[in-house]
Amino acid sequence: MKVTLVYDNTGSKKGLIPDYGFSCYLEIENTPRILFDTGAKGDTLLYNMAELSIDPAAIDIIVVSHAHWDHTGGLNELLQVNQTATLYLPSSFQPSLPDRNVIEVTTPIEIAGNVFSTGELMQVEQSIAIRTDTGLVVISGCAHPGVGPILEAASSYGKVSALIGGLHGFREYDLLKDLDLICACHCTANKSQIEALHPDKWLDGGVGTVIEC
């Protein structure tokens, strides 16, 4: 499985545009192509995707973590170039999308083979969990419900081995001790503390980062 960060506050590859927001592209063997979140600005999202040789029209599934602008701002422009993707949206996010295939997410659900939603935790945000040979990879937009509840919900699908995405003001660092990989990006306030405590698990994020699990 390959996860490519296409929208993040910082950059890791020359020629890409960093901006406040989050989006990542998932390539999983024998699984539809998935985009998780859409960043804050459509033009930035589509520019970064083009630079990363990702075809927005070929995305099969779009998952939105929660309704905040820095995760949904690119959605309208993306849908102008993609007419067929199925959207998995938390029930608290209700845009007007006539003639689009929208799945409203409240409870845990299988999105595709070995790809699952935690459900809309605390009626705010969903995260996704991808089952791999080495454990579950959990991807979080901002972790508003808390990292603990997210990991607990995801663990119903197996043992969590990796955590990627925004963690906001997360400080319960002991929750990460059994993970193999941590890539905390976007809104995470305490990156330096997480890296210092778990240097062997830490991976820097930023637009253009590619994570293979």
- As a whole number of angstroms, the distance between CA 146 and CA 61 comes to 25
Q: Write the pLDDT tens digit of every residue in 26-45.
A: 999 999 999 999 999 999 99
Q: How many domains does the chain have?
A: 1
Give the range of the structural domain holding residue 183, as residue numbers without chain letter: 2-212
Which one, of 207, 211, 210, 186, lies nearest residue 13 by Cα? 207
Q: What is the DSSP letter of 159?
A: -
Q: Encode burial over 11-43: b for 16+ CB neighbours within 10 A, e otherwise.
A: bbeeebebbebbbbbbebeebbbbbbbbbbbbe
User: How far is 25 from 203, CA to CA, in rounded Å?
Assistant: 17
Count each helix (H run) and each strand (E run) in the chain, helices first: 5, 13
Q: According to the model, what pLDDT value does residue 74 have?
A: 98
What pLDDT does 171 receive? 96
pLDDT attached to residue 33: 98
* pLDDT at site 34: 98
Closest CA to 35 of 13, 61, 15: 61
Q: What is the CATH classification number for the domain harbouring 69?
A: 3.60.15.10
- Low-confidence stretches of the chain (pLDDT < 50) are none
Residue 75 confidence (pLDDT): 98
pLDDT score of 115: 98
Closest CA to 143 of 207, 33, 68, 210: 68
Looking at residue 27, its pLDDT comes to 97
